Amino acid sequence: MKNKTWSGRFKKQINEDVLDFSQSLTVDIVLYEADILVTEAHVEMLYECGHISLKEMRKIRAGLKKLRSLANNGELPWSVEFEDVHMNIENALVDLIGEVGKKIHLGRSRNDLVATDMRIYLRELLDVTSAEIREFRKTITNLAVKYHANIFPGYTHLQIAQPVTFGHHLLAWQEMMARDEQRLNNVKSMINVMPLGSAALSGTSLKLDRSMVAKKLGFDGVTKNSMDAVSDRDYIVDFAHANAMTMMHLSRISEELILWMNPQFNLIEIDESFCTGSSIMPQKKNPDVLELVRGKSGAVYGNLMSLFVLLKGLPLTYNRDLQEDKNIIFESIDTTISSIDIINKLMQTLKLNKENAHYLAETSFSTATDLAEYLSAKGVAFRDSHHIVGSVVKYCESKNMSMKQLTIQEFNTFSKLIDNDVYKYISVEHSVSARKNIGSTSPKNVLKNAKQVLSTLHKNKTKK
């Protein structure tokens, strides 16, 4: 057994099974780059503060550089005997540069180190997630431009309710995803605070320049309480929550796409390369990708709950339970990123079945509200208009007709105020274009909003 980290205190070596049970290397190995980065900044600061010599600092930095390239090339001999990524790096460094490598842990503990590494790593994954969301927002918004004027059935209670433009529906998804991106930005401000310097729990007697390290590592600032800093995992719960929310949105989007591509709705086509067949039924074209996204959202919600349960009983400060946060959040992030990516690609193949969408949008007396508003524009109180149109609908249903099939004489049996222009007002085209208030479905609004979204997406990209 090579692990000498705490062998000064122990007579016996660690039991093999305990080591196997407690090691975290297999999960936290992904933190190696962050760990090296943090150590580089830490030793520079140790030198600036006079705790190590320039020569020592240079030797350590050169060693870390070498370690990085060994690790990147898969040539670092990782060993679970050293328990985790942090002690593997430290031991490998000592092997590489000798005694001076033992100085890197001055003024820090694995408790503040693991928290710092995690914040750096999650910060990167957060940026990847945001970038995926932006790509998806672009795809949806481009489709909204393309279909800004196409009529589509709008639903409430999954019953056709009123006509909308397809672009408007797509931009509803855009809004959900824009909030997800904003939520991630909020999470980033929670993540980007540096715990290093908190050491085990109470800080260190060494004089450190924490702000210098924070600046080198791109943190916005340093944590204010060492005890909180080593036990805080709120930012992980926040990230898991942001993931859960995104998966909830993707799951709802999936559900809609599944319905729409069902031949009974026949509203859209998805390219068959994104569909799957059946092993027995030769005719099947199934939306498995979307069902999987919907299904995977369950585990991501569960992970949020797992983190809450993991944390709820923990006394300050560090407890080994905290090691278990990684698998959970990494799974959430992986699932979320891959789900956004696949839905984004699938959406790029989407085609609207324009005729059928138009046809369905005209069914179910979808412009009955327009008729009521038409009467109210002529002075009828809305409640009375509602009642009159209710009678019109009842009449049409009994005759198995749509409203536009009624003659003007038939209309006049319900209200003398109805003129020949009514046919225009109850058309789906008029219905959507009349809805011009901010946030409403008119083609003009949709096009304007879509272009605004695209220009923000474009602008933010050039800023980066």
Contact residues for ligand ARG, defined by CB under 6 A = 24, 28, 83-84, 110-111, 114, 318, 320, 322-323
Q: What is the smallest separation between the CB atom of 67 and ligand ARG, expressed in angstroms?
A: 19
Q: Which of 81, 84, 72, 87 is nearest to 33 (CA)?
A: 72
Are residues 369 and 441 in contact, defined by beta-carbon separation less than 8 angstroms?
no
- Choose between 9 and 320: whose C-beta lies nearer to ligand ARG: 320
Give the active site residue among 53, 69, 189, 278: 278
Element holding 143 (H helix, E strand): helix 110-146
Contact status, residue 270 vs residue 346, Cβ threshold 8 Å: yes
Q: Which of 124, 141, 181, 250 is nearest to 460 (CA)?
A: 181
Q: What's the min distance (Å) between Cβ of 111 and ligand ARG? A: 5
Q: Measured from the CB atom, is 111 or 335 closer to ligand ARG?
A: 111
DSSP-derived letter for residue 51 is: S
Nearer Cβ to ligand ARG (325/373): 325
Closest among 184, 186, 30 to 114, alpha carbons compared: 30
DSSP state of 397: H
Provide the minimum distance between the beta carbon of 320 and ligand ARG in the complex, in angstroms, as a whole number: 6
157 is catalytic: yes
- Least Å distance, CB 312 to ligand ARG, is 18
Minimum CB distance to ligand ARG, residue 83 (Å): 6
Could you tell me the smallest distance in angstroms from the CB atom of residue 230 to ligand ARG? 9
Query: Are 339 and 295 contacting, i.e. CB atoms less than 8 angstroms apart?
Result: no
When the beta carbons of 233 and 358 are compared against ligand ARG, the nearer one is: 233
SS3 154: strand
> Looking at residue 315, what DSSP letter applies?
P
Q: Which residue, 323 or 344, is less far from ligand ARG as judged by CB?
A: 323
Q: How far apart are CA 425 and CA 384, in angstroms?
A: 18
Q: How near is the Cβ of 184 to ligand ARG at its closest, in Å?
A: 24
Q: Which residues contact 406 (CB under 8 A, 6 or more apart)?
A: 392, 395, 396
DSSP state of 161: E
Nearer to ligand ARG, 111 or 254 (CB): 111
Helices 166-191/110-146 angle, 10° precision: 160
Of 230 and 422, CB closest to ligand ARG: 230
**C-alpha to C-alpha distances, 27 to 164, 400, 402, nearest whole angstrom:** 48, 65, 63
**Helix or strand or coil: residue 73?**
coil
- Nearest CA to 2 among 82, 75, 76, 78? 82
Residues 66, 36: contact at Cβ < 8 Å?
no
Residue from 157, 205, 279, 398 carrying the catalytic annotation:
157
What is the maximum span of the chain, computed from C-alpha positions, in angstroms? 102
Q: Minimum distance between the CB of residue 56 and ligand ARG, rounded to whole angstroms?
A: 25
Q: Yes or no: say if 199 and 107 are a contact pair by the CB < 8 Å rule.
A: yes
- In the complex with ligand ARG, the residue whose CB is nearer, 160 or 227, is 227
Active site residues: 157, 278
